Amino acid sequence: MESIGSNFKQLHEEGVDAMVSRIEIDYKTSLTSGDEFEVRLSIEREGLKLVFNEDIYRSSDNKLCAKGKVFVICLVNGRLSKGEVFNELFGKYLV
């Protein structure tokens, strides 16, 4: 979040709260202590949910280590919302 100029505390103070509703992870290859890795991200919408697709690659050999899906819901002022604020924040990642 901070890399795109925002953070969850700031959003919370504006009445916007994102919450994880479910996570799916498929482990492919283990990372070990000291391994550097890269997370490749894309985001899509499923109804009211945002789905963060995260592929984790080990930097040394570009090997896929894990594929994850993080399902997120958004409350605006305590009410379930589509979280339109995330369209602007995550625009370049939305597919």
In tens, the pLDDT along 11-26 reads 899 999 999 999 999 9
CB neighbours of residue 73 within 10 Å: 18
**Global pTM?**
0.81
Q: Where are the domains of the chain?
A: 2-89
Write the CA distances from 2 to 10, 18, 26, 41, integer angstroms: 10, 15, 27, 15
> What pLDDT score was predicted for residue 39?
95
Give the three-state DSSP class for 89.
Answer: helix
In tens, the pLDDT along 26-39 reads 999 999 999 999 99
Q: Which CATH number fits domain 2-89: 3.40.718.10, 3.40.190.120, 3.10.129.10, 3.40.50.10490?
A: 3.10.129.10
Say if residue 55 is exposed, middle or buried (CB neighbours under 10 Å; 0-12, 13-18, 19+).
middle
